[in-house]
Amino acid sequence: MIEVKNLSKKYGSFRAVDNISFDVDEGEIVGFLGPNGAGKTSTIRILTCYHPATSGNATVGGYDVFTQSMEVRRMMGYLPEATPLYPEMRVREYLQFRGKLHGLDRGERISAISQVTDRCWLGEFVDRPIGQLSKGMKQRVGLADALLCDPKVLVLDEPTIGLDPTQIRETRNLIRQLGEHHTILFSSHILSEVEQTCTKIILIAKGKVLAQGSPSELREKVSADSKIFVEVKGPSKEIQSAIDNIEGIREIEQDASVTGDWTRFAITGDGKRDVREPVARVIQDKGWGLRELRREVASLEDFFVKIIAEQKKS
């Protein structure tokens, strides 16, 4: 549905988007994940025909975003980052205006407006001036606008930013529901959000795609780094060397923040191997005290943080 090939965007000498490529298939919910300033909005603005790419090309539904921009705009619903709206208009007036821009006739507009206001829980607010609405309500108006012409592709730029936790959950559910009928590309800098809603994640930082795949695929990639934590009572040097001798242990580190009789270690196993059992046996045999033994499978969060930290170093 969306194809991006070697896309770059420069502002002066600054490369906001650096040679990125990705595909979005029909019916997918794709999360565009990256820290602030990663180039998410720049990429989205190219896809929505707001500004052109410096090089490379992108197509939406087979139409080129630069040369066939009207066709692309007709099939796309877009919610920009800050949800810009006209404060003096009433919600219904605004949606009427947007409907007219999309070429809906009177009847179509009326039914489309009642449908999207229902969907976005705007029912009782349709006759309120937009300027009087709260941030969350404005976001819903923007979303209603994006859905108005029943677009094949929905592009949402940071749809949950500035919302309260309930609204975030509502929006997330809505996005999941909408995914049944629309292809969705949405950006976020919050991993958990993307992880819960998306069928595919595209991780970008500094204008480059660092990784892409389904959440489980990405998790697979990082699970190699699983760690176990153990708290033992006994001579710490001895414990450390004893555990280090166990087969399949790559690294053992003492946690200096725990003092007193107990010592805490972070142990990294080789590959996906679970080393809890041998560790427990060694401690048992030596007769040391054991009060915690916990395995932590690396989360996407760690992966996200790590990959971005690496990016920063280079």
Partner 1 sequence: MRNVSPVMQRELGAFFYSPIAYAVLTIFLILLGIFFTATTFQPGGQASLERLAELMPIVFVVFLPVLTMRLLSDEYRTGTIETLMTAPIGETDVVIGKFFGALVFLVVMLSTTLLYAFVVNVYGRLDWGMLASTYLGMLLLGALYLSVGLFFSACTGNQIIAAVSSMVLLLVFTFLAEYLANEASGALKLVLRHLSIREHFRGFTRGILDGNDIVFFVTSTGLFLFLTVKVLESRRWR
Which residue, 40 or 102, has its beta carbon nearer to partner 1?
102
Nearest distance, CB of residue 171 and partner 1, angstroms: 18
- Give whichever of 27 and 131 is closer to partner 1, judged by the CB atom: 131
Residue 89: CB minimum distance to partner 1, A: 7
Interacting residue ranges for partner 1, rule: CB under 8 A: 11, 45, 48-52, 70, 73-74, 76, 78, 80, 82, 84-89, 93, 97-98, 100-103, 142, 145
Look up tokens 């892409």; give the residue: 212
Q: Which residue has the tokens 């559910």?
A: 173
195 Cβ partners below 8 Å, 6+ apart?
A: 31, 201, 215, 300
Least Cβ distance, residue 87 to partner 1 (angstroms): 8
Task: Tell me the CA distances in angstroms from 7 to 57, 59, 183, one per residue in order.
Answer: 6, 11, 21
Tokens of 274: 């679970």
CB 116 within 8 A of CB 144: yes
Other beta carbons within 10 angstroms of residue 221's beta carbon come to 14
Smallest distance from partner 1 to CB 311, Å:
27
Q: How far is the CB of 183 from partner 1 (least distance, A)?
A: 17
Determine contact, residues 73/61, Cβ cutoff 8 Å. no
**Residue among 88 and 270 whose Cβ is closer to partner 1:** 88
What is the helix, strand, coil percentage profile of the chain, to 5? 40, 30, 30
CA distance 36 to 41: 9
What is the distance between the alpha carbons of residues 158 and 155, in angstroms, rounded to a whole number? Answer: 10
| Least gap, CB of 30 to partner 1 (angstroms) | 19
